[in-house]
Structure 1
Amino acid sequence: METNCKLDQEYTHYQIFGHLKTEAFSAEEAAEYLEISIPTLRRYVQSGRLKPSTTIGRSQLFSSVDLRLLKQKMDKE
């Protein structure tokens, strides 16, 4: 079966996530991006390793910039 999508083409991080540069991620999205569980994300928040950019009620939103920086640090560890 042929598709219109070129699966073998490599995309840059910017091509995939560039439009999210100023977007906020939910806790679930942030955990998925960081490749960690929700409980681990909560521990990162409690320890100060990650701070929510916005809190709406009980929901926390995380800056894509902060997540990218933390992911870079995690990749180096």
Structure 2
Amino acid sequence: MCSLPVTPSEERITLEGQVVTSFSGAVARLAAAHPALAVTDVERVVLREWEAFSAGRPLVVPVGVEEGAAEMLGAEIPARSDV
């Protein structure tokens, strides 16, 4: 899950009023703070917290999500015009 090495002091930024950081940065900081835990266990906890926190509208999405949505919407337009 956490594939990119990130220093524990990685910067955080503010988007739409929320302070955010990368997943790998959060895992790196938490793993450094809890060296007795396996990184995969830290990742699982971060993912559970993310799921609990993100039940609402997302603040950010990967560009790939937007691109995929554009493809899906483009595919729906011809299908709807045949109706």
Q: TM-score, normalised by structure 2?
A: 0.25
Higher relative contact order (CA 8 A, sep 6+): 1
Normalised to the residue count of structure 1, the TM-score between the two structures is: 0.26
Q: Which has the higher strand share?
A: 1
